[in-house]
Amino acid sequence: MKRSGGKRIYVDMDDVISKTTDTYAAIVAREFGKQARFEDLSSFDLKKSFGLTDKEFCFFFDLVHQPEVLLAYEPVEGCVSVLSRWARQGCHIDIVTGRPPSARDASLAWLDRYQIPYAAFIMVDKYNRTAKDLSTIITKDQLMQRQYDMAVEDSREMAFFLANSMTVPVMLYDRPWNVQPVEHQNIRRVCSWQEIDGCSP
Ligand SMILES: [Mg+2]
């Protein structure tokens, strides 16, 4: 067991600590009658992965960001115990999410429900998709002013941004939408929180 005291760690929320996309195939099947398996979600663009029209995707995006849906997600196996131990060891854990500003209260309630420790909860416009509301959300340029010793992400795009623009070592959580080979000295593919714990700084 490594000690991570004093380190500053960036932890993404969806599909890193929250089992979010696991629930989407059932929602899409129920709402639109379209079938897709989690394993087949080869694009980070869910509209493309599920074959949704613009209108269907807007409906879906609103639906999956409703408080009752956000609160129902299960934690990813192992994350609660690893993050709790890191916090006890003095780590500063920032939960850094690309969720829209409307998801703030439910996201904080979810972290509280599972007693996931964090020093800061940060909403970033990771994918240039939300209207700018600078009172509750920061830009990637603003994120760059923060320093991290390690990051855990499942977005390839964000992993490369962190590794290149912020020179942060990144654990890329293996997901169907990021399976393309990553050859970068600052990015390491990981498949579980046990593995992340083993390679933490
Ligand atoms: Mg994510």
Residues 50 and 123 in one domain: no
Same domain, 101 and 88: yes
CA of 152 to the centre of ligand 1 (A): 9
Does 26 share its domain with 14?
A: no
Q: Is residue 78 part of a domain?
A: yes
Residue 41 confidence (pLDDT): 85
Spacing of C-alpha 75 from chain mean position: 12
Residue 106 covered by a domain: yes
Instruction: Please list the residues that pair with 97 across neighbouring strands.
Output: 123
**Residue 45, number of CB atoms within 10 A of its CB:** 13
Mean per-residue pLDDT over the chain, rounded: 92
| Cβ atoms < 10 Å from Cβ of 135 | 6
Looking at residue 130, what is its pLDDT?
58
Nearest C-alpha neighbor of 81 from the set 155, 1, 150, 169: 1
Task: Provide φ and ψ at 142, rounded to 5°.
Answer: -70, -35
Confidence of residue 1 (pLDDT cuts 50, 70, 90): very low
Based on the fold, state whether residues 55 and 80 are members of the same structural domain.
no
Q: Are 172 and 154 in contact (CB under 8 A)?
A: yes
Helices (H), the chain: 24-32, 46-50, 54-63, 67-72, 79-88, 104-113, 140-143, 156-165, 193-199
Lowest mean pLDDT among 59-68, 103-112, 127-136: 127-136
What would the pLDDT profile of 86-130 be if each residue is shown by its tens digit? 999 999 999 999 999 999 999 999 999 999 999 999 999 988 765
Number of domains in the chain: 2
- The range of the structural domain enclosing residue 38 comes to 21-63
Question: Is the pTM here over 0.85, yes or no?
Answer: yes
The answer to whether residues 115 and 164 belong to one domain is yes
Residue 160 has pLDDT above 90, yes or no: yes
Q: What is the DSSP letter of 12?
A: -
- State the distance from the centre of ligand 1 to the C-alpha of 16, rounded, in angstroms: 6
Q: Which residues contact 157 (CB under 8 A, 6 or more apart)?
A: 44, 126, 127
Same domain, 192 and 151: yes
Residue pointed to by tokens 């005291």: 5
Same domain, residue pair 113 and 158: yes
Q: Across residues 177-198, what is the average pLDDT?
A: 95
pLDDT of residue 173: 98
Indicate if the pLDDT at residue 4 is higher than 70: no
What is the 96 CA–ligand 1 centroid distance (Å)? 9
Kindly give the distance from the C-alpha atom of residue 18 to the centroid of ligand 1, in angstroms, as a whole number: 8
In a domain, 96, yes or no: yes
Separation of CA 13 and ligand 1 centre (Å): 6
Same domain for 163 and 98?
Answer: yes
Beta bridge partners of 75: 18
